[in-house]
Structure 1
Amino acid sequence: MGHDHVHNHNHNDLKGRNLVISILLNILITVAQVIGGLVSGSLALLSDALHNFSDVLSLIVSYIANRLSKKEASLQRTFGFKRAEILAAFINASTLIIVAILLIIEAAKRIQDPQIVQSNLVIWLSILGILANGFSVLLLKKDSQANMNMRSAYLHLLTDMLASVAVLIGGLLMKFYQLYWVDSALTLAIAIYLIWMGFDLLKESTKVLMLFTPDTIPIDQIVKEINAFAEIKNVHHIHVWQLNENETHFEAHIDFEHDITLTQFDKILHKVEDLLLNKFEINHVNIQPEYGKDDVKDVIVQD
């Protein structure tokens, strides 16, 4: 069966440009915060710099994945690189959690031994982080709503902007109230937030990579509605999976009541396709027709 695909190259180019801008901004922030953290002695600032460095890596991964996803399919890669952005989302979510664990370890050490921090430098560099990351967040916000890869990059930047806000608050508390333990406490809070944000994305991207049935697809209902067609005796051996966020695939064996012609099969196939597309948003369908075949008729069959 044929499928219509609409490629918006201008939109893809815009996504790529926005990612490049965000990468450059985060490199600037990372360098400034590493220097500032070492000079001021602020663990929160260094933790924010580490998070920013992970942002740089994640944004580069996202950019490469965005470029790869536009490559055409070939004999060696019949799906092309359509899963590159899902893989990027998985990598980025994993790095969020790893960075968070490292921050928790460092914060725990520092809480036991609070150190004096040069708060003025912390304040100004956190403001720089808020402005630069805030601009990057605005650049990626629209695309993050429809693309898992862009959402992973957006989450990295959003959490870093919020981390910079937390560092700013900590800098002000240290400057005016000499509460130096706040530096470690904020680092711990940032780390916990990173884990919370990264876990859902990690779980979502893992489901796609593992070919799990999307949560929105009720297989029992699909079976019931396909079986309702008069010509169909049984639908079985079903697989439903997402190739990426735009393509949901469905394959199944359909046992027919009669030994129909190929022309009759095509007509029934179009009805099944319309049902799956309009009601369940499944846009790639592969049906194996059968008549009187002696095979397992279970809905789900372990291959």
Structure 2
Amino acid sequence: MGHAHEHHHDHQNLSGRNLLISIVLNILITVAQVIGGIWSGSLALLSDALHNFSDVLSLVISYIANVLVKRKASLKRTFGYKRAEILAAFINASTLVIVAILLIIEAVERFQNPQEIKSNLVIWLSVIAILGNGFSVLLLKGNASDNMNMKSAYLHLLTDMMASVAVLIGGLLMKYYQIWWIDSVLTFAIAVYLIIMGWDLLKNSTKVLLLFTPQSVPIKSIVSDIQNIELVKNVHHVHVWQLNEDEIHLEAHIDFTEDIQLSTFDTILNTIEAIVKEKYHINHINIQPEFGKCDAKDVIVQD
């Protein structure tokens, strides 16, 4: 257990370092794109700068969450800051969608009044953004698959790299073919892509924050497995929720057929823990034993 705990902290420290590097890179890119967007008159470049600025905010939030989650539990915070990363993922996904809506409004307005744009500056700044965001994407990719917070930061950077590629293509088309309206079309496409990428993460993080039952946990099957254990009469008042990326909790009341001893209950409890961990990947359970108690025996009880 000690080795796994140490590995977890090494993983978090590496994530924190990579986030810091990405923050510095994106601040530099944002400043360059804002100056370049104003100078060239490119809405696509300014929209990419706005997205990059949202990247900076999201990375800072992710970094803070990464630091907080390492803090230990206390009397005032019995769970510690284990939900900090889920909250960060929710905030970051929300900003993705909000930024996208703002970009769509701006793109529609600019499409109606296309303007000539200094394409050379757009091209060079988009190349710089692609290189900077591409490096940041590689830094965070390894941690994005198993951590919602890191995934939210990774998605911000990945979509921004894709946006910069679109801006580069637009800059080339404007330079060689004078297609000025492409700037607005690409901005609109970038915004739609942001909504698609951000919505799923926003939905999943919201479900965790609202204590919804994880999609992978079939409550009816769990109740059936527990009720098949000898001496178990009824399983009711069940709650299942996901605390963070690593922990799924189960809480339930169990009505027994006999007034059993505490040692017998411990044996049954060990059996239940083994079943729910092996079959359903639930690693924290809290069982309230009962015998002949007059209360609601429904699986789900409104508290």
Q: Name the TM-score, length of structure 1 as normaliser.
A: 0.98
Q: Deviations over 1:101-150 (max 9, x none)?
A: 11111101100000001111111100011100000000000100000000
Structure 1 vs Structure 2 CA RMSD? 1.3
- Distance, in Å, in 1 between the alignment partners of 2:187 and 2:264 is 66
What's the % identity of the aligned pairs? 71
Matched residue type, 2:158: L
Matched residue type, 1:157: L
Give the structure 1 partner of residue 195 of structure 2.
Answer: 195
Q: CA deviation at 1:9?
A: 2.0
Give the structure 1 partner of residue 48 of structure 2.
Answer: 48
- Distance, in Å, in 1 between the alignment partners of 2:244 and 2:38 is 42
Q: CA deviation at 1:230?
A: 1.5
Is 2:275 the counterpart of 1:267? no
Give the structure 2 partner of residue 219 of structure 1.
Answer: 219
SS at 1:6's partner residue? helix
- Distance, in Å, in 1 between the alignment partners of 2:9 and 2:219 is 34
Give the structure 2 partner of residue 105 of structure 1.
Answer: 105
Matched residue type, 2:174: M
For residues 108-147 of structure 1, what are the structure 2 equivalents within 5 Å? Answer: 108-147=108-147
For residues 136-285 of structure 1, what are the structure 2 equivalents within 5 Å? Answer: 136-285=136-285
- Distance, in Å, in 2 between the alignment partners of 1:6 and 1:256 is 37
For residues 55-94 of structure 1, what are the structure 2 equivalents within 5 Å? Answer: 55-94=55-94
Q: Deviations over 1:240-261 (max 9, x none)?
A: 0001010000000001111110
Q: Deviations over 1:68-89 (max 9, x none)?
A: 0000000000000000000000
Gap runs ≥5 in structure 1: none
Matched residue type, 1:52: N
- Aligned residues between the structures: 302
- Distance, in Å, in 1 between the alignment partners of 2:257 and 2:120 is 79
- Distance, in Å, in 2 between the alignment partners of 1:283 and 1:167 is 46
- Distance, in Å, in 2 between the alignment partners of 1:249 and 1:9 is 22
Q: CA deviation at 1:5?
A: 7.1
Give the structure 2 partner of residue 299 of structure 1.
Answer: 299
SS at 1:35's partner residue? helix
Gap runs ≥5 in structure 2: none
- Distance, in Å, in 1 between the alignment partners of 2:4 and 2:263 is 26
Give the structure 1 partner of residue 17 of structure 2.
Answer: 17
Matched residue type, 2:172: L
- Distance, in Å, in 2 between the alignment partners of 1:169 and 1:261 is 74
Q: CA deviation at 1:6?
A: 2.2
Q: Deviations over 1:216-257 (max 9, x none)?
A: 000011111111112100100000000101000000000111
SS at 2:253's partner residue? strand
Q: Deviations over 1:47-98 (max 9, x none)?
A: 0000000000000000000000000000000000000000000000000011
- Distance, in Å, in 2 between the alignment partners of 1:127 and 1:148 is 29
SS at 2:277's partner residue? helix
Q: Name the TM-score, length of structure 2 as normaliser.
A: 0.98
SS at 2:302's partner residue? coil
Matched residue type, 1:6: H
Q: Deviations over 1:17-68 (max 9, x none)?
A: 0000000000010000000000110000000000000000000000000000
Matched residue type, 1:300: I
- Distance, in Å, in 2 between the alignment partners of 1:135 and 1:45 is 20
- Distance, in Å, in 2 between the alignment partners of 1:242 and 1:70 is 18
SS at 1:237's partner residue? strand
- Distance, in Å, in 2 between the alignment partners of 1:211 and 1:221 is 19
Matched residue type, 1:132: G
Q: Deviations over 1:145-175 (max 9, x none)?
A: 0000000000000000000000000001101
- Distance, in Å, in 1 between the alignment partners of 2:103 and 2:93 is 16
SS at 1:193's partner residue? helix
Matched residue type, 1:251: E
